[in-house]
Amino acid sequence: MKAAIYPNFQKNNALDCAKRLCDILIENNFEIFIDNSFKNEFKNKPRIKYGCFDEMAGQADFAIAVGGDGTILKCAKRLIKTDTKLLGINTGRLGFMSALEYDQLEQIENLVKGDYCVSERMMLTAKINNGGSIYMLDALNDVSISSVYANICDFNIHVDKRLLGKYRADGVVFSTPTGSTAYSLSAGGPIIEPEMECIEMTLICPHSLFARPMIFSPSKKIRFENCCERNPDMFISVDGGEPIKLSCGSWLEIAASEHKIKIVDMTGNTFYNSLNQKLMRPIK
């Protein structure tokens, strides 16, 4: 079997975790791929093949992200249009999307036994038209739109070309079920089972007593129009990435992506375990 490792050494213990992971994979007769940029960190490890991660990940059975949820999201982007399964190992803080914690690496041998489940996750496609400049981006978690310095914004939302509403808020988050436990949750959105297929819309600090999150079927196309003339520039972030400016009069269209990401679940109950052990901690 083949595994491509995608580490984030800015996270605590990530380097030690990745090295130990290599030892366990070698013991279980895995062929290991690592990007050229990490040759120095793994120079004492045998049987590792180096190259371009994007090319090697497409040949691998598993891509293993070592870090936090952000690392998993970045790795997922590299797996679009591949059949490679994604396994997350948490060395960060929350690690909600991870299948394993740093002290559970011995469970890697279950990959050889086939003792794991695969959770298929929908993605969103964001089509951005900013003054005629078109961008197309995919999101596993969410697409958020807001202004700088928490300036209140005016915007319109259309669903399948029908006006849903004219809103005044700090912004809005469109999320997948996978992303329902991220920014959308903090903004007051509901938690959704990750295998469901739907598009969630959660307003950020709406200036209204009645605005509520909404759930749309995956067949819908949702258009966000920036009509804020007082503070004309808003900014789009896809899965927490670098912001893209959206000027007044420009628009963003959200739809379900044709691509999906296969996430490894080592227990078949990772989502509920994470929900219970991580998000519920403050009230226990």
What is the mean pLDDT, run by run of 10 residues, along the chain of 284 residues?
A: 95 92 95 95 90 95 95 96 96 84 92 93 96 93 90 94 95 97 94 96 93 96 92 90 93 97 86 75 52
Identical fold between 2-116+266-283 and 123-259: no
**Integer Cα distance of 194 and 75 in angstroms:** 18
The CATH fold assigned to 2-116+266-283 is Rossmann fold (3.40.50)
Domain ranges of the chain: 2-116+266-283, 123-259
Segment 104-127, tens digit of pLDDT: 999 999 999 999 999 999 999 999
Question: Domain 123-259 in CATH: superfamily?
Answer: Probable inorganic polyphosphate/atp-NAD kinase; domain 2 (2.60.200.30)
- Set 69, 138, 154, 239: catalytic member: 69
Catalytic-residue membership of 239: no
